Chains A and B, each alone.
Chain A
Amino acid sequence: MGVHELRQKARAAPRKQHGIKVEKAKGSTDAVAVKSDHTVGWAWPYNSRYRSTCFLVLGFAFLLRYLVSLHSYSGAGTPPKFGDYEAQRHWMEITIHTPVEDWYRNTTDNDLTYWGLDYPPLTAYQSFVHGSLIKALEPEAVALHSSRGFESPTSKMLMRWTVLSSDVLLFFPAALWFVSEFYSDYREKQRVWALAMVLLHPALMLIDHGHFQYNCISLGLAIAAAAAVVSKRELWACVFFSLSLNHKQMSAYYAPAFFAHLLGRCFQKNSFFQSIIAVVKLGLTVILTFTVCWWPFLESKETVLQVFSRLAPMQRGIYEDYVANFWCGTAMLFKWKQLFPMGTLAKLALGTTVSACLPSMVHQVYAPSRKGFLYCMLNCSLAFYFFSYQVHEKSVLLPTIPVSLLGVEEPQVLQWFIPFATFSMLPLLLRDGLFLPYLALMSLFFEISKFPHYSFERSVETSNTRLLRKLPTRFIALSVSGAAVLHLMYLGLQPPRRYPFLFEALIMAFTFAHFVLLALYTNWKQWLLPKDTPVKQKVT
């Protein structure tokens, strides 16, 4: 002992100093990682070339997704309505057997009361493509009428593969692109870690590959749009974001951020005239993308309105089940649904959502910055999650994406918010029979996210207040133990007969309180950002 270790340290020390020197000399734009940093405990995978580690992360992310897909899904073997899996399968059935005009219309072949298509056209096209593939391999799985609730082992596997392939083809490249653009001036270790945090996101894996949905497509497109924004390819950002919005209307949660940031960028141009030109260019791009997506439905006003009415189902109420948002969270105090008629509630929701988005939007219009844009994405999606109309538990995925994108900047927020967001969906996941993967992926996320201790050092250096240094650790300890107790109660105890949904409500209230704190913190943080961060030139 002793002597040897001291010697090792003595040898390692100059190397470390040298590393710091290099960094300082080149500033933080230095893309050369300090490769020989093997004295850091957990750092070993990063000793290697950046690319092979990225490859390992990608492969591992695929493996995990596939493993999750072995488990149950929403509505497995529960006639007559089944669940989201059946909805997606039914859309494939409808889109490949009926003409485009009838997709959103009630016809003899398309009974809209049975999982009628209520997502925008891109989802319909995607269902058409996937449905055609499945039809080629197993026609019975998507046969008209007769295939309702069809669940053969091979068809299940084919359905799973449609999600897996979308994920690998869209989400993975988008994540890689984002990390290589946004974190281009960070150390390689941090880039790998950031990539892992985006790809090993437990909630997204559970919802897409467990519960069964195609969020990877819309969120992948949104990440691609964000990557385009941070790399200053504004027109591409418009294209990708329009596509995302056309795949799932939920992407509208990010719309204020994109709008405000891109507008702010346009105003940064040298002259007023140039600004106007830039705005017009962006607007035209959006309109063009939308036109292409909606082309088959642009015949008449009625057809457009028909699709539209499907996309905004007002009759479904302001919230469903137990969502950790404002309306549901305060329902114990105010019975919103009884106090106000539906129309008023919708207006109220719109008003509160817009006003909650406004601060961060204003910030981005005045001082657009790369980091600020991501904070704005987070704040706006949180605002939507809290206040907008008809929010589902799964909508919590939207605010988690900007958090995972900001991983290296806000590691503590990441480690804390993503598990809580996943936790808020526990009742849903338990219903789907996904407790085992929930447990596995949550622990995995904890283990992997605590990997680089050095990322905390950075955040401590940059955080402006001393208060923040000590607060999070104690706070995290408190909230984690609270969550543990709730887990145990929910899994182990019978709720009292008078309040059968007591534990769901408790989980909802608990997570809602956390999300509110997060929203306050991130709004404050966004306003603390330097007014105008000059976008650094990429180091090639």
Chain B
Amino acid sequence: MGTADYSELLWMVSIATCIKLLLVPSYHSTDLEVHRHWMAITSSLPLKEWYEDETSEWTLDYPPLFAWFERLLAIFARRVDPIMVDLVKGLNYSTDTVILFQRSTVIIADCVLYWGLWRFCRKFTAEKQRILCAAVVFSPGLFIVDHIHFQYNGFLLGILLLSLSYLREGRNVTGGFWFAVLVCYKHLFAVAGPVYFVYLLRHYCRGVSWFSNFMRLGLTVISVVGIAFGPFIYYGQMGQLMKRLFPFGRGLCHAYWAPNFWALYNTVDKGLSVVLRKLGKDVRAPKAAMTGGLVGDSSGHAVFPNVTPAVTALLVLLAMLPCLVRIWRRPRRSEIVQWVVYAYTCGYMFGWHVHEKAALHFVVPLSLLIADSVKAAGDFLFVSTVSYYSLFPLLFENREYPIKVPLLLLYEFAMATYLPHYFVNMSPDRVSNSGVESEEPAESTSDKSESSPRSDWTMLSSLQEVELLGTVRKLYLWGLLPVEIYSQFLHPYLFKDRLPFFPLMLVSFYCSVGLFYAWAKQLMACFDQPKPDIHFQI
């Protein structure tokens, strides 16, 4: 049914690439130097010293495959400018050529994102492809984090999309393979590990040949991990590697609190301590603590109990539990994207030292669900606005202000405009059972209910009936406006240089309320009655 015409995706990609080229001279964070230094480490040191080197404070703290990726880039970097990959001379070396080179590596690496995206939606109808591709290709979060701030998230998310596309097709081993690759590129993606584990166990390792399937899958994953980590095990460096990958010495929250559960926790803690001190109780004075980018900072909370990494890990697992149970009982490939998104949301909400950039891990896969139902589209509109907005403090310079605001506004405006049209144009008869082969022949028939799969659509006859957000969420989103005006303009005007962290706290508190709500909604979805497992567009 699908159209194999990727010219529209190419069209979007070329427009996005033009924007990325224009972004080259914009602000970049220290991550540019981090990645340059990693190129230097991997290209000038032998393998066994990669994770030992301490020439710079930016030590290598991504898993081995990413280090190999840097090694690959270094081959080209050396041709462009040998100083760039010099371990000592290259420190803090950033000429225009270096910036252009590194920026172009990000732009080129994004091809993986587009490959994954194309693989994911190649069988959908043209309309669905169009809206999904636009949602991912023009994501302001990717522009902000990858092409301004500087990182390689697009590339990594591309691998995730690849993995999800295979899982949705029922090619479980390949899906598992790509997920293992992904985790060996960036271990923070391992949060979805439990979901993958339970899903693959129940969906793939069953039936008569459950054991051989299990072995096949296990061998695939183990060989990927073995190739990546094997040499370091051989050198006896696993301890050192783990120390680098999981620096628990860093605080519970990042310097700017990612808008998650702990932002709420901290805010309430600080508020309570101020109130209690006013009442004459003996509590510690609130400090700008619980943060720390580089070194350990363990000054804790004033009223609430301190939080340890183990507690956060436990909470993440606990939050994921309902979803794991559901997958255990009904492993559905049509739902896998949703549960992976949920897993990343849990990791984001309750994880240790979460960076706000991690929001991309769940927003980008979430955008693959927007064409499934009006409800999913509304959820996406809400979550993407809040979490992309929460990325704003990453670009704190005035010069980037007129970039990030139009990027976000244009994107959300376009989404809010065209999504309803998408749903109206998908009139019920077009979406209908027009030769859709049952997508999951392996699924037990009991999953399929008798009710019409189109119940979501038959109601839509006009634009007015497509209510994406609802009053409460609309009001909340409008509330971002005063928050932004206060933190950007009013606060510096009222307080000058005093309380510099308050605006950031306000932003992350406000956003965390919204995201907490969105997380809770996703949690509730774990208890929903399963819908008939049919895909409209395939």
Contact = CB atoms under 8 A, between A and B. Distances in A.
Nearest to A153: B399
A439 interface: yes
B6 to A, nearest CB: 12
Size bin of chain B's contact surface: 35 or more
Contact of B127 (A5, A11, A38, A157): A38
Contacts of B26: 67, 70
Contact of B25 (A3, A38, A70, A157): A70
B425 A437 contact: no
Among A62, A153, A157, A440, the most chain B Cβ lie within 10 Å of the Cβ of A440
Given A38-B127, A436-B24, A440-B21, A56 B410 contact: yes
Interface string B93-129: 0000000100000000000000000000000001100
A447 B14 contact: yes
Interface stretch (B32-40, B320-328, B400-408): B400-408
Contacts of A443: 14, 17-18
Contact of A7 (B5, B409, B434): B434
B22 A448 contact: no
Nearest to B4: A1
Contacts of B502: none
Contacts of A436: 21-22, 24, 100
Contacts of A114: none
Interface stretch (A43-51, A304-312, A316-324, A419-427): A43-51
A352 interface: no
Interface string B396-423: 0011001100110110011001100100
Contacts of A5: 1
B398 A4 contact: no
A439 B414 CA distance: 26
Nearest to A45: B418
A47 B425 contact: yes
Nearest to B15: A447
A284 B1 CA distance: 68
Nearest to B407: A63
Given A4-B1, A44-B130, A52-B417, A67 B434 contact: no
Contacts of A60: 406, 410
Contacts of A67: 19, 22-23, 26, 403
Contacts of A441: 18, 22
B278 interface: no
Interface in A350-371: none
Contact of B403 (A1, A66, A444): A66
A42 B22 contact: no
Contacts of A153: 399
B418 A44 contact: yes
Contacts of B399: 70, 153, 157
A59 B398 contact: no
A71 interface: yes
B412 to A, nearest CB: 11
A68 interface: yes
A64 interface: yes
Contacts of B413: 52, 55-56, 59
B375 to A, nearest CB: 21
A68 B8 CA distance: 25
Contacts of A448: 15
Contacts, number: 99
A62 B406 contact: yes
A8 interface: yes
Interface in A390-449: 436-437, 439-441, 443-444, 447-448
Interface string A27-61: 00000000010100110110111001101100110
Contacts of A4: 1, 434-435
Interface string B422-449: 0001000110001100000000000000
B425 A63 contact: no
Contacts of B425: 36, 38, 47
A211 to B, nearest CB: 15
Contacts of B24: 436
Contacts of B434: 3-4, 7-8
Contacts of A437: 21-22
Among B18, B410, B429, the most chain A Cβ lie within 10 Å of the Cβ of B18
Contact of B1 (A1, A47, A55, A157): A1
Interface in A378-396: none
Nearest to B13: A447
B495 interface: no
Nearest to B463: A49
B234 interface: no
Contacts of A47: 418, 421, 425
Interface residues of A, number: 41
B11 interface: yes
Contacts of B421: 47-48
Among A5, A64, A67, A448, the most chain B Cβ lie within 10 Å of the Cβ of A67
A153 B27 CA distance: 13
A60 B406 CA distance: 8
Given A48-B418, A63-B407, A443-B14, A8 B8 contact: no
A440 B16 CA distance: 10
A454 to B, nearest CB: 16
Nearest to A60: B410
Nearest to A35: B421
Contact of A444 (B7, B18, B409, B417): B18
B18 to A, nearest CB: 4
Interface in B385-405: 398-399, 402-403
Contacts of B14: 443, 447
A41 B410 contact: no
Given A63-B407, A157-B399, A447 B22 contact: no
Nearest to A71: B25
A59 B406 contact: yes
A456 B435 CA distance: 36
B307 to A, nearest CB: 41
A443 B19 CA distance: 10
A286 to B, nearest CB: 38
B454 to A, nearest CB: 15
A448 B14 CA distance: 10
A439 B107 CA distance: 15
B22 A68 contact: yes
Nearest to B12: A447
Contacts of B398: 157
A55 B23 CA distance: 22
B500 to A, nearest CB: 20
A525 B307 CA distance: 77
A234 B406 CA distance: 37
A49 B417 contact: yes
Nearest to A51: B417
Contacts of A1: 1
Contacts of B23: 67, 70
B8 A42 contact: yes
B401 to A, nearest CB: 10
B1 A440 contact: no
A153 B17 CA distance: 27
Contacts of A7: 434
Contacts of B127: 38, 44
Nearest to B22: A67
B403 A63 contact: yes
B462 to A, nearest CB: 12
A41 B24 CA distance: 32
A56 B7 CA distance: 22
Contacts of A11: 429-430
Given A55-B413, A70-B25, 4 more contacts: A36-B425, A48-B421, A66-B402, A71-B25
24 contacts: A1-B1, A4-B1, A4-B435, A5-B1, A11-B430, A38-B127, A38-B425, A44-B127, A44-B130, A47-B421, A48-B421, A56-B410, A63-B403, A70-B25, A70-B26, A157-B398, A436-B21, A436-B100, A440-B18, A440-B19, A444-B18, A447-B11, A447-B15, A447-B18
| Smallest CB-CB A-B distances: 3 pairs | A67-B22, A440-B21, A444-B18
